[in-house]
Amino acid sequence: MIVEPCSLTIAEARELLDRRELSAVELTRSCLDRIAAHDGRLNAFITVCREAALAQAAEADARMVGGAGGPLCGIPLALKDIFLTRGVRTTCASRILDGFVPPFDATVVAKLRAAGAVFLSKANLDEFAMGSSTENSAFGPTRNPYDLDRVAGGSSGGSAAAVAANQCLGALGTDTGGSIREPASFCGVVGIKPTYSRVSRYGVIAYASSLDQVGPFARTVRDCAVLLQAIAGVDPRDATCAARPVPDYAGALTGEIKGLRIGVPREYFIEGMAPAVDGAVRAALRQFEALGGRLEEVSLPHTEYAVATYYVLATAEASANLARYDGIRYGLRVAADNNIELYERTRGAGFGAEVKRRIMLGTFALSAGYYDAYYLKAQKVRTLIRRDFARAFERCDVIATPVAPTTAFAIGEKIADPLQMYLSDIFTISVNLAGLPGISVPCGYDDRGLPIGLQLIGAPFAEETILRAADAYERSGATVRRPPII
Amino acid sequence: MASETAMAAENYEAVIGLEVHAHLATQSKLFCGCANSFGAGPNENVCPVCMAMPGVLPVLNRDAVELAIRMGLAAHCAIARESIFARKSYFYPDLPKGYQISMYERPLCVGGYVEIEANGERRRIRLVRIHMEEDAGKNIHEDGTSLVDFNRSGVPLVEIVSEPDIRSAAEAAAYLRELRALLRYTGASEARMEEGNLRCDVNVSVRPRGVEQFGTKTEIKNLNSIRFVEKAIAHEVARQIDILEAGGRIMQETHLWDPVREETRPMRSKEFANDYRYFPEPDLPPLRVTPEWIESIRVALPELPAARRERYVNALGLSRYEAAILTEEREVGDYFESVAAGLRNAKTAANWVMTEVLRVVNETGKPLAHAVPSARETGALLAMVEDGAISLNAAKTAFMAMCQSGKPAATIVRELGLAQVSDEAAIAEACDQIIETHLRKVGEYRAGRDKLFGFFVGAVMKAMGGRANPRLVNEILKRKLDQ
C-alpha cells in the first residue's frame, strides 16, 4: 500500500524531508489534495490557504536545502480559526468578525512561521470557542471522520477532525474547559492542554482569559511534544505568560514509567458514563500497571462543583471579553440611528445563540447584587478545586481519568439542551480551573468504532511527566489505532 | 430674595468631595507602546492593543506605576504592596474594549492627605485613594456624523479621590491648586486642565450646620478649569439650599456643568445609569511593589510645596500669602530662590517675582524660562536696586527691556542711562536752581505750607531726568529749605 504523505506523522515526515525523499511542496500538496477531496463533507476548515501554503512550502524547501530547517520546517499544519493570522481572515466562527483581516500574527503563529511551518488552513470551531461539539459555528458543524453523522467534539473540532482525517500533520487549538482534549478524544488523536501560562495567549481571540490555553493536536504523543516545544515559552506581550524555561519535551519521552504513581480519582468514575468508556479507561489503567506504574486511589472532593464554577467564571470573563465587538472599529456593523441601537443590532445579528446565552449568564453573574453570590463564590470554589489537585499530587505523579463520559454524540443530539452539552466537559473542566496540564491520548473504540480518549493530568508545569506517560502507553501498543472512514 | 438666600445659606454647610483625573507624563501609554502625546493627528498614536483588536493583551507600563507612586508618596498615601487591576464595563464608542482597565477594590495608594490654605486657614483634606487607570478615546461629532479618535485610548491616568472634607468652593479651588502643584512637583503629570489632562468631578451635598449626617449628594461632571469648579460648586450649593428651604428633597443624580450658561443641569438617567460589573482583570497579574522600590522613589522626591512654604515663611521671612503664590509652580519657586540668593533681602526677590515676573509670564503666555531673563540677570538687576545704583522704577523699565532684548542687566542699564545719580554736589546744584526759580513758593513753604515740599522734590527729580537718588534729593532739599 502506498502511503500518502499527508498521513505521515510529523516525525516520519521529518525524516523523509531531511533525507530529501519528500519535499515540503509535495507534502503540502498531498494535504491540500486530501482537503479538496474530503473537506466538503467533513467541514473541518473555514478557510483554506492553498496558494499561501504552497509558497510557504517552497520557502521551507529552500531553507532545508540551505540546511537551516528545524523540526517543523516544511510541516503542514492547521490553525484553529481563533488565532490571528496576518493577512488571512480570522473569523472565530462568528458572523461578528465578518471581513476581519488581522494586521498581525498571534505569538504562537509567529513562532511557528519562524520555524518554517506551513499553514494550510483556518480550522472550524464553536463560535468564540463556546461549545463542545463545533455545532455552534456560523460556518456549519464539523463532522466526525469516524462517523459523519456525529460531532467532532469542540470547541477545537475542526483541528481535531483535520488531524484525524489526515488533512494536516498537526494543528493548534485552544482549551478553556476541554476544547482540545474532548475533540481529540472524539476524533482519536492526541491533544494536550498545557499548564495555564505555559503558552502565550497574545493574538488568540479571548473567550475566558483566566482559563484559555493554547495547545497542539497531532497523531502521536511525540508529534505533540515537538509542536508544544515550538510554541511554549515567555512572551513580553502576555503579562500572564510564565517566564520559566521550557524543558526538552521530546527528550522526556523515554518510554520508561516504572514507579510512576498514577492517581485514580474516585469522583471521575460516575453513574451514566458509557460502559465502553469506563471499560477502555480501566483497561488503560491496567496497561499502566503492566508498564510498571502504580495505581493510587485519590480524591478530588469538589469535582461536582466544577461545571457550575466554570460556567460562572468563564461566562463572566467572556461577557467582558466580547464587549469589544461593537461594530465601531472592525467586523460586522448593522447600521442604526444611535449608539445603543447600533450595538443591539450589530451584536444581535453577529453573535449566535450560545454566545448570547453565555454573555447574558456572565453579565448576570457580575451584576450589582449578584457578584458575591456568583462570581466571588465561584472564585472561592476554584481555589478549593485547585487545592484538591495539590493534595492529590502529594500522592501521585499523574492523574488518569476519562476525557469525556461518552464517545462522539450525534449531530443535533444535544444542541437543544445546553445543560447536557455542558456535561460533556465534566472531566476536563476542573483541569482548566486548576490551571493544570492535561493530555488526551486514544485508549480504545466503542462498539460503533468511535474513539475513546484517556486523560492524563499533571501538576503545574509537569508537561514532561504526562507526555512521557502518554507516550509510554501509546508505544506499548495497547490500543491499535484504526483509520477514520474517510 | 437674594438676601433671604444669603441668610438661609448661613444656616447650611456644604460637604464636598472631589474626584480628580490626571494624565501621567509617561513616554508611552499604560498598556502598549504607543506614544502618550498631546496634539497628534486623529488616530496616529494607536496600535492593535489600544484599538482593542481581538486577541490583544495589556502589558503594564512600569514608568506609569512609578509616577503614580510618586504622587501617592507626595500625598502621604500608603502604597499597597499588592494592588489589582479590574475591568470596569460599559459600552461607549470611545471605549474600544467595552471595559476600562482601572483599579477597584485594591488600589495602589490608600489614605493620605493634602494640606491646603484657604480663607487664611490651613486644613488637611484627607484622601480615600489614588488609583491607576487608562483613559478612553474621544468622540467627535461633526456634520451629522460621529468619529472616534483613539489617540487618548490607553493613556495612563491617576484618579485621586478625596474624602468629603471640603467645605466651600474656595477650599475646593485651593485643593485643586495644591493637587496640581503636587502633580507637577513630582513630575507625575503636566496637570494642564486646558489640555484635558487634569479633569475633575465634584460631589456636593449640603446639611444644616451642626448636623452630622450627610445630605443627599449630586455629582457634577465636565469641569475643566478651577474657575468652573468654583462656579459650579457655588451654583450647586445655592440650588440645593433653595430646594431644601422650599421644603423639597435633593435627588441623587449626576449633573453636567454648562460653562456657557454657568449652571448645572441634570444628565438624562440613561447617560449614567451604569452597572459597571467590576471584576479583577485576568489579563494582568497583581501589581506587586517592593519596599525597596518605594523607598528609592521616596528619596528621589523633590522638596514639596508644603515644606517649601514653611521654609519660605520661617527661614526667608515671607508672608504665608507670598509663600503660597511662589510655591504653586515649582519653576516659579526655583526662580525666586535663585534671584533671592544674590540679594540681602529675600522680600525684594519675592515682590519682584510676584509682580513683575508673573505679570510677564501671564501676559506672554510663555513658560517662565522663555518669558523672562535668567534668574542670574534678574538677580543682578535687583542687586543694583539694593545698592542704590538704580531706582525701583528704573529697574522696571530695565526689566521690560531685558525681557524683550535678552541683554544682560548691566548692559541695559547702561544703554538706557538708567543709573541713579547719587552725586551729592550735582543734586545740591539742582536743588539750588529750583529754590532760586521758585522764591515765592519757598517763602510760602517757610511760612508753614509744608505740603509744598513734594512740589520741590518733583521739580528736582524732573530737572534731573528722574534719575536722582530720591533719598538724597529729600535730604538735601530739606536741609536747604529749612536753613
The mean pLDDT value for B80-90 works out to 97
Same domain, residue pair B13 and B143: yes
Q: Give me the residue from B91, B277, B283 closest to A343, CB to CB.
A: B91
CB contact under 8 A, B279 and A367: no
The C-alpha of B143 sits at a distance from chain A's nearest C-alpha, in angstroms, of 15
The residue segments making up the domain with residue B438 are: 424-482
CB contact under 8 A, A324 and B57: no
The C-alpha of A376 sits at a distance from chain B's nearest C-alpha, in angstroms, of 9
Task: Flag whether residue A205 sits within 8 Å of chain B, measured between CB atoms.
Answer: yes
Same domain, residue pair B404 and B442: no
Compute how many other C-beta atoms are within 10 angstroms of the C-beta atom of residue A339: 16
Instruction: Suggest the residue from A328, A338, A342, A346 to mutate for an interface test with chain B (most B CBs closer than 10 A).
Output: A328
Interface contacts (A, B; CB < 8 Å): 102
Task: Flag whether residue A102 sits within 8 Å of chain B, measured between CB atoms.
Answer: yes
Residue (of A60, A49, A71) closest to A25 by Cα position:
A60
Same domain, residue pair B319 and B216: no
Task: Flag whether residue A204 sits within 8 Å of chain B, measured between CB atoms.
Answer: yes
**Burial tier of B187 (Cβ tally within 10 Å: 0-12, 13-18, 19+):** middle
Share in percent of chain A as helix, strand, coil (round to 5): 40, 15, 45
Same domain, residue pair B142 and B255: yes
Catalytic residues of A: 80, 155, 179
CB contact under 8 A, B91 and A323: yes
Task: Provide DSSP, B449-460.
Answer: -TTHHHHHHHHH
The mean pLDDT value for A284-295 works out to 98
The ipTM (two decimal places) reads: 0.97
The C-alpha of B280 sits at a distance from chain A's nearest C-alpha, in angstroms, of 9
Same domain, residue pair B278 and B324: no
Q: What is the pLDDT of chain A when averaged over all its residues?
A: 96
The residues spanned by each domain of chain A are: 5-258+471-475, 304-379
User: Considering its fold, how many domains does chain B have in total?
Assistant: 3
**CATH superfamily, domain at A5-258+471-475:** Amidase signature (AS) domain (3.90.1300.10)
Query: Which are the contacts of A233, defined by CB distance < 8 A and separation ≥ 6?
Result: A199, A200, A241, A245, A246
Residue B7 reports pLDDT greater than 70: no
Same domain, residue pair B73 and B122: yes
The mean pLDDT value for B421-447 works out to 88
**What pLDDT sits at residue B272?**
52
Q: Which of chain A's residues have a Cβ under 8 Å away from the Cβ of B59?
A: 236-239
**Burial tier of B307 (Cβ tally within 10 Å: 0-12, 13-18, 19+):** exposed
Determine what percent of chain B is predicted with pLDDT higher than 70.
97
Task: Flag whether residue B98 sits within 8 Å of chain A, measured between CB atoms.
Answer: yes
Q: Give me the residue from A201, A323, A325 closest to B57, CB to CB.
A: A201
Last residue of a domain, one of B387, B415, B443: B415
Same domain, residue pair B411 and B429: no
Task: Flag whether residue B271 sits within 8 Å of chain A, measured between CB atoms.
Answer: no
Same domain, residue pair B363 and B456: no
Give the pLDDT band of residue B1 (cuts 50, 70, 90).
very low
CB contact under 8 A, A329 and B51: yes
Same domain, residue pair B199 and B247: yes
Crossing angle of helices B439-446 and B424-437, in 10° steps, is: 90
Same domain, residue pair B240 and B193: yes
Determine what percent of chain A is predicted with pLDDT higher than 70.
100
- CATH number of the domain enclosing B440: 1.10.10.410
- What does the alpha-carbon distance between residue A469 and residue A367 come to, in Å, rounded to a whole number? 44
Last residue of a domain, one of B415, B441, B458: B415
Residue B259 reports pLDDT greater than 90: no
CB contact under 8 A, A329 and B279: no
The rounded Cα B419 to chain-centroid distance in angstroms is 37
Crossing angle of helices A24-42 and A10-18, in 10° steps, is: 150
Residues 384-443 of A with CB under 8 A from B: none
Residue B3 reports pLDDT greater than 70: no
Residue B109 reports pLDDT greater than 60: yes
Report residue A1 as a C-alpha cell. Answer: 500500500
Residue (of B23, B132, B127, B27) closest to B74 by Cα position:
B127
The C-alpha of B91 sits at a distance from chain A's nearest C-alpha, in angstroms, of 8
CB contact under 8 A, A375 and B279: yes
Give the pLDDT band of residue A114 (cuts 50, 70, 90).
very high
Residue B273 reports pLDDT greater than 80: no
pLDDT digits (tens, 9 = 90+) for A346-364: 999 999 999 999 999 999 9
Give the pLDDT band of residue B188 (cuts 50, 70, 90).
very high
Same domain, residue pair B173 and B231: yes
Task: Flag whether residue A257 sits within 8 Å of chain B, measured between CB atoms.
Answer: no
The mean pLDDT value for A394-415 works out to 96
The C-alpha of A202 sits at a distance from chain B's nearest C-alpha, in angstroms, of 6
CB contact under 8 A, B91 and A368: no
- What does the alpha-carbon distance between residue B189 and residue B194 come to, in Å, rounded to a whole number? 13
Same domain, residue pair B184 and B82: yes
Residues 137-156 of B with CB under 8 A from A: 148
